[in-house]
Amino acid sequence: MPIQPAPLQFAADGTPFSETYGDVYHAAEGGLGQARHVFLAGNGLPERWRGRERFVIAETGFGFGLNFLAAWAAWREDPARPRILHFISFELHPFRREALARLHAGWPALSPLAAELRANWPPLAGGMHRLHLDDGRVCLTLYFGDVREGLAQLDACVDAIFLDGFSPAKNPEMWSAKVFHLLSRRAAPEATLATWSVAGEVREGLRRASFVTEKAPGFGGKREMLRGHLFPHPRRKNAPPAPPAERRAIVIGAGAAGTAVAERLAARGWEIEIIDAEAGPGRGASGNHAGVLRPQPSFDDNRMSRLTRAGALYGWRHIEKVLAAGGPLRAAACGVLHLARDVAQAEKMRAAVARLALPGELLRHVDAGEASEIVGWPVSFGGWYFPGCGWVQPPSLCVANLAAHPQRIRTHWPRRVNAIERRGEHWHALADTGGTIAAAPVMILAAGTGLADFAQAAPLPVIAARGQVSILPAAAESAPRAVVCCGGYVTPEVEGRRCAGASFDVGDANPGPRASDQQANLAKLETILPGYTAGLDAAALDARVSFRPVSPDRLPMAGAIPAVESAAPPASLATLPRHDGLYAISGFGARGLAWAMLVGETLASRIASDPLPLERELADAMDPGRFLLRRRQGWAVNTAESDEE
């Protein structure tokens, strides 16, 4: 559902107001005072979070973020605070960044925090957005959309609930029985709750959802407020599984997938041993000179579209932070154009943009004239334009990920892992001599197509797809000035060269460049930019071949590896036996850059028992166990739309 931003409106006394709901965003006596009295003190904070490794707060209405900013400020001021604060919030009508700036100006004491929030504020696209704030110690997960849909898709165990929103009389959906029951399911056994509303239907709804509530002195003009806790029940299973007592992991594979999950775990304080058969990171499928990082829209906004959109947004936020910190990363958000092949496809692409109604900063449709201006070369058709996307040098991303936490990541290369073995509480990565390269309670297989070399991963249908990229000499400032895709892709000039391609051949094991593939890549380039290949000699161009791991449904794999080779009904992902402490991250295919960082964060969150950064449906769509719940006969890989490298 397209997101409708909240308009900036005020009541006569200057209090932020919504004409849509006919109600104010906070008490006239002061929003910060209300946040501290009702939501923080009502949940026993900061006392309840002291001494904890992690504390999770869920809020039912983000508004302009005042409750979040108050909680963040209280966390910063508390010397006994938890190491990580997770704050999850839902908002159907989020404000634009410009409106937030005006609203936040009324709270100068929160100015530094509010500025950091706005600097990380995502485009107003539906779904979940994870923001890492305060050097990663505060994790804000926003769901833009209906709170009922968001809570149904939330995978988290919540310690405290801020039940906020416009009044039950003005916005009854926010205070519905469904919301209360979903909160109950997501609540930890000792979870607390607080709200300013003491309406009878609210108290009864919470009671029916297993919350015990009581009235307490209210704030400002409200005589009473409500606070409560989850009714203890011996059969409740809301608590997340405890993470390993030792926060140590082995990652096999130092490509985009392996370095992403290594960086995300190291950011949580984990000690990582990363092993690769090559002499350094980003030398295999992640070794191309430049690749494309952008979403893949669809008219029906299917799982592929939502995953690539979420991945692109998260990936570019990560890249911007690395670049701002001076990390060894080469990337540029120069814009990406996906051109139509013909008139019929151009109309379909225009219709998809209209239906999705995404913010223009994320996706818009351009005609042939504007596309030509963007590229700096005449093109035949318009298409999709992604202004905030561009190219990334994959090896530099891998290097930057490892360089972000040098004291927590130990590298082993060139070392080939011949086998893995569980001995007691630890996994061992074994060399061909039988000796142990490294041992840890958690092991993550990020070995690309080499996943199939490990017996424990045999049930996973990873397929190798051969890809040949052509490398062209390029002058500075030469066209194209943006990445251009259409059945293939071509990048702008990057360090005197540009990439064009690429082939996508399943079942082809030839490791060397082929003249026929060079010709095919130039043919794609000529289709993208008519007249561009004049004077180019395919035989004189450099090329690079790599083998990308692909899953049959073209979605990534990330999760615990099943401990069985087949599963009969009524098996489910939740009941599927798994190898203790053994995980896989693979199957990225031609979309490794779009997925690497977000999928790495998702897997790291799963391993560390943190709230997931994605909707449950999308996380389940990446679970390696999904293939064991289907027939394993006749798997075929769709080779269409392989223009993202």
Q: Write down the pTM of the prediction.
A: 0.96
3-state secondary structure 528-581: HCCCCCCCCCHHHCEEEEEEEEECCCCCCEEEEEECCCCCCCCCCCCCCCEEEE
Query: pLDDT digit string (tens) for 482-532?
Result: 999 999 999 999 999 999 988 999 989 999 999 999 999 999 999 999 999
**Phi first, then psi: what are they for 191, rounded to 5°?**
-65, 145
Looking at the structure, do residues 107 and 80 belong to the same domain, yes or no? yes
User: Which residue did the predictor score with more confidence, 16 or 94?
Assistant: 94
From 124, 33, 22, select the one nearest 73 (Cα to Cα): 33
Looking at the structure, do residues 31 and 60 belong to the same domain, yes or no? yes
How confident is the model at residue 487, as a pLDDT? Answer: 92
Looking at the structure, do residues 256 and 143 belong to the same domain, yes or no? no
User: Among 21-30, 104-113, 218-227, 453-462, whose mean pLDDT is lowest?
Assistant: 21-30
How confident is the model at residue 245, as a pLDDT? Answer: 82
What CATH number is attached to the domain comprising 605?
3.50.50.60
Query: pLDDT digit string (tens) for 269-310?
Result: 999 999 999 999 999 989 999 999 999 999 999 999 999 999
How confident is the model at residue 237, as a pLDDT? Answer: 63
Does residue 43 sit within a domain? yes
Structurally, the chain folds into a number of domains equal to 2
**Contact indicator for 254, 413 with CB cutoff of 8 Å:** yes
> Rounded to an integer, what distance in angstroms lies between the CA atom of residue 34 and that of residue 225?
11
- β-strand pairing of 409-412 with 17-18: unpaired
Does residue 348 sit within a domain? no
> What's the pLDDT band for 11 if we cut at 50, 70, 90?
confident
> Measured between alpha carbons, how far is residue 213 from residues 26, 81, 497 in Å?
22, 26, 65
Domain residue limits at 450: 249-283+402-457+552-629
Looking at the structure, do residues 208 and 262 belong to the same domain, yes or no? no
> Measured between alpha carbons, how far is residue 325 from residues 45, 400, 403, 409, 410 in Å?
33, 11, 11, 19, 21
**Contact indicator for 206, 176 with CB cutoff of 8 Å:** no
User: Which residue did the predictor score with more confidence, 241 or 593?
Assistant: 593
Looking at the structure, do residues 202 and 257 belong to the same domain, yes or no? no
Average model confidence (pLDDT) for the chain? 93
How confident is the model at residue 633, as a pLDDT? Answer: 41
Looking at the structure, do residues 206 and 142 belong to the same domain, yes or no? yes
How confident is the model at residue 9, as a pLDDT? Answer: 87
Please compute the mean of the pLDDT values over residues 128-153 and round it to a whole number.
97
User: Among 222-236, 501-515, 601-615, whose mean pLDDT is lowest?
Assistant: 222-236
Does residue 346 sit within a domain? no
Does residue 254 sit within a domain? yes
Rounded (10°) CA dihedral 264, 266, 269, 270:
110
Is the pLDDT at 385 greater than 80? The verdict is: yes
Looking at the structure, do residues 110 and 196 belong to the same domain, yes or no? yes
What CATH number is attached to the domain comprising 166?
3.40.50.150
pLDDT above 90 as % of the chain = 84
> Rounded to an integer, what distance in angstroms lies between the CA atom of residue 199 and that of residue 170?
13
> Rounded to an integer, what distance in angstroms lies between the CA atom of residue 431 and that of residue 417?
5
Helix axes 592-608, 256-267, angle to 10 degrees: 40
Query: pLDDT digit string (tens) for 327-369?
Result: 999 999 999 999 999 999 999 999 999 999 999 999 999 999 9
How confident is the model at residue 251, as a pLDDT? Answer: 98
Is the pLDDT at 640 greater than 70? The verdict is: no
Looking at the structure, do residues 167 and 254 belong to the same domain, yes or no? no
Does residue 262 sit within a domain? yes
Does residue 393 sit within a domain? no
Please compute the mean of the pLDDT values over residues 70-83 and round it to a whole number.
97
Looking at the structure, do residues 560 and 600 belong to the same domain, yes or no? yes
Is the pLDDT at 158 greater than 70? The verdict is: yes
Looking at the structure, do residues 257 and 190 belong to the same domain, yes or no? no
User: Among 115-124, 236-245, 582-591, whose mean pLDDT is lowest?
Assistant: 236-245
From 595, 558, 41, 617, select the one nearest 251 (Cα to Cα): 558
> What's the pLDDT band for 644 if we cut at 50, 70, 90?
very low
> What's the pLDDT band for 631 if we cut at 50, 70, 90?
low
Looking at the structure, do residues 190 and 256 belong to the same domain, yes or no? no
Does residue 244 sit within a domain? no
User: Which residue did the predictor score with more confidence, 570 or 605?
Assistant: 605
From 379, 352, 376, 374, select the one nearest 364 (Cα to Cα): 352
CA angle 125, 129, 135 (to 5 degrees): 140
Looking at the structure, do residues 226 and 270 belong to the same domain, yes or no? no
How confident is the model at residue 190, as a pLDDT? Answer: 92
Is the pLDDT at 425 greater than 70? The verdict is: yes
Does residue 94 sit within a domain? yes
Query: pLDDT digit string (tens) for 511-522?
Result: 999 999 999 999
Query: pLDDT digit string (tens) for 172-194?
Result: 899 999 999 999 999 999 999 99
**Contact indicator for 153, 621 with CB cutoff of 8 Å:** no
Q: Torsion-angle region of residue 383: left (phi > 0), alpha (psi -120 to 50) or beta?
A: left
